[in-house]
């Protein structure tokens, strides 16, 4: 896959976060890979991967499937399930999924580097990822060990909002079975949601005013 530069305007990102919550409630969706964020290591792209889901605004997801391949523009259908459902592409590897979810949250909050964190997730499910030179030199193995231990004792509430987009074999428009992705869709409290919506409208107005002056 060619290296791509992909930028998402602030308002589009915020809209994607709003859409993410409603998408997580669906049993199946149609996914289209629209672009990547430009991060790469060990010869492959890492988080974020950008998707249009059911034709809506782009959503950023992280890949947990090192051995499968996808291309920009490819479409497929996916089941949307809880991280703890035991219905992911890798079946009942629940501890591995828990560790992957915690690693993803640490990437989102800036605790872990994107590239090493994504490789740690891949290594949970793929020997090929573990054999990649970047996995061996980046500290991904240590991250994997640390987060497996954290996952073993973490309460289920630590995984709230984490969902799997598990590909349905045979629905892909290109190649073999597509990759599986993890998304984070936090559900804000009603008061927070109101404030968020108000802030979004205010930001939209500010951008409109600035554009009007341009």
What SS3 class is residue 156?
A: helix
Give mean pLDDT, residues 43-53: 98
Percentage of residues of the chain with pLDDT beyond 90 = 73
- pLDDT the model gives residue 40: 96
Asked if the model's pLDDT at residue 172 lies above 50, the reply is yes
CA gap 17, 22 in Å, rounded:
9
Rounded average pLDDT over 136-145: 98
**Bridge partners, residue 44, by sequence:** 41
Listed residue (25, 23, 19) closest to 57, CA to CA: 19
- Sequence-distant (6+) residues with CB within 8 A of 1 are 36, 45, 71, 72
List pLDDT tens digits, range 68-101. 999 999 999 999 999 999 999 999 899 999 999 9
pLDDT at residue 187, as a whole number:
62
Q: Is the pLDDT of residue 161 over 50?
A: yes
Q: What is the pLDDT of residue 51?
A: 98
CA 83 – CA 131 distance, rounded (Å):
26
In what helix (H) or strand (E) does residue 1 lie, and over which residues does it extend? none
107-120, pLDDT tens digit by residue? 999 999 999 999 99
For residue 109 the two structure tokens come to 């909050």
pTM (predicted TM-score)? 0.79
Q: Which two tokens stand for residue 112?
A: 């872990």
Q: Does the pLDDT of residue 30 top 60, yes or no?
A: yes
Confidence at residue 34, expressed as pLDDT on a 0 to 100 scale: 98
């Amino acid at each position: 896959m060619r290296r791509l530069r992909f930028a998402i305007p602030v308002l589009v990102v915020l809209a994607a976060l709003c859409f993410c919550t409603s998408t997580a409630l669906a049993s199946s969706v149609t996914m289209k890979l629209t672009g990547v964020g430009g991060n790469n290591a060990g010869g492959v792209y890492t988080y974020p991967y950008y998707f249009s889901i059911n034709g809506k605004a782009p959503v950023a997801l992280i890949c947990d499937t090192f051995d499968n391949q996808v291309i920009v523009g490819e479409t497929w259908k996916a089941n949307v399930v809880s991280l703890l459902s035991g219905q992911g592409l890798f079946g009942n590897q629940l501890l591995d999924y828990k560790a992957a979810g915690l690693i993803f949250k640490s990437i989102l909050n800036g605790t872990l580097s994107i590239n090493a964190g994504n490789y740690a997730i891949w290594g949970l499910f793929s020997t090929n990822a573990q054999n990649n030179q970047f996995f061996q030199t980046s500290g991904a193995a240590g991250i994997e060990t640390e987060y497996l231990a954290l996952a073993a004792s973490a309460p289920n509430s630590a995984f709230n909002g984490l969902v799997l987009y598990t590909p349905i074999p045979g629905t892909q428009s290109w190649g073999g079975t597509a990759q599986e992705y993890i998304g984070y869709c936090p559900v804000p409290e009603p008061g927070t949601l109101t404030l968020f919506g108000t802030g979004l409208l205010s930001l939209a107005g500010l951008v409109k005013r600035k554009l009007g002056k341009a």
